[in-house]
Amino acid sequence: MLQTGQQQVIIVPQTVNAPVPKSAASHTVALKARLQTLLAVPVATSVALAVHLCLPNNELPLEAHLYSQFLAAVLGAALAADIIHFIWPGLRRWMRHMCPIFAAAILTLAGWELITGILRWLPLPYFPAPAAVLQSMVDDRALLFDSTWHSLLLLLSGYVLGVVIALITGVCIGWSTRMRYWGMPLLKVVGPIPATAWIPLAMVVSPSTMFSAVGLIALAVWFPVSMLTISGIANTRASYLDVARTLGAGRWYLIFRVAIPAAMPSIFVGLFMGLGTSFLTLVVAETVGVKSGLGWYVSWAQGWAEYGKVFAALIIMAAFFSTIMTLLFKVRDRVLGWQKGMIKW
Partner 1 sequence: MVTTASTEGSSLRILGVSKSFPAPGNAAVHNLALDTITLSVAAGELIAIIGPSGCGKSTMLRLVAGLDAPDSGELWVGNDPITAPSAERGLVFQDPNLFPWLTVSRNIQAGLIARGLLHKKRPEVNEFMRLVGLEAFAHAYPHHLSGGMAQRVALARALINHPKVLLLDEPLGALDAFTRMRMQDEVLRLWQARRTTMLLVTHDIDEAIYMADRIVIMTPHPGRIERTISVTLDRPRQRNSPEFLRLRSDILEQLHFAGNAKGETNGRTSLDNNVDVDSVGKSNKPPFSPPDEPTTAPIMSGMTGTQD
The binding site for partner 1 (CB under 8 A) comprises: 237, 239-240, 242-250, 253, 257-258, 261-262, 264, 336-340
For residue 97, CA distances in Å to 38, 101, 118, 243 come to: 11, 8, 32, 45
Least distance in angstroms from the C-beta of 248 to partner 1: 3
Nearer to partner 1, 242 or 333 (CB): 242
Nearer to partner 1, 249 or 280 (CB): 249
For residue 342, CA distances in Å to 150, 182, 337 come to: 34, 36, 8
Nearer to partner 1, 125 or 250 (CB): 250
Least distance in angstroms from the C-beta of 339 to partner 1: 7
Nearer to partner 1, 95 or 259 (CB): 259
**Distance between CA 235 and CA 170 in Å, rounded?**
12
Contact 130, 67 (CB under 8 A): yes
Least distance in angstroms from the C-beta of 234 to partner 1: 18
Can you list the alpha helix ranges (DSSP code H) found in the chain?
Answer: 2-11, 21-54, 64-84, 89-113, 130-139, 141-175, 177-190, 199-205, 209-234, 238-246, 251-253, 260-288, 294-303, 307-335
Least distance in angstroms from the C-beta of 273 to partner 1: 22
Least distance in angstroms from the C-beta of 257 to partner 1: 7
Nearer to partner 1, 118 or 336 (CB): 336
Distance from the Cα of residue 250 to its chain's centroid: 42
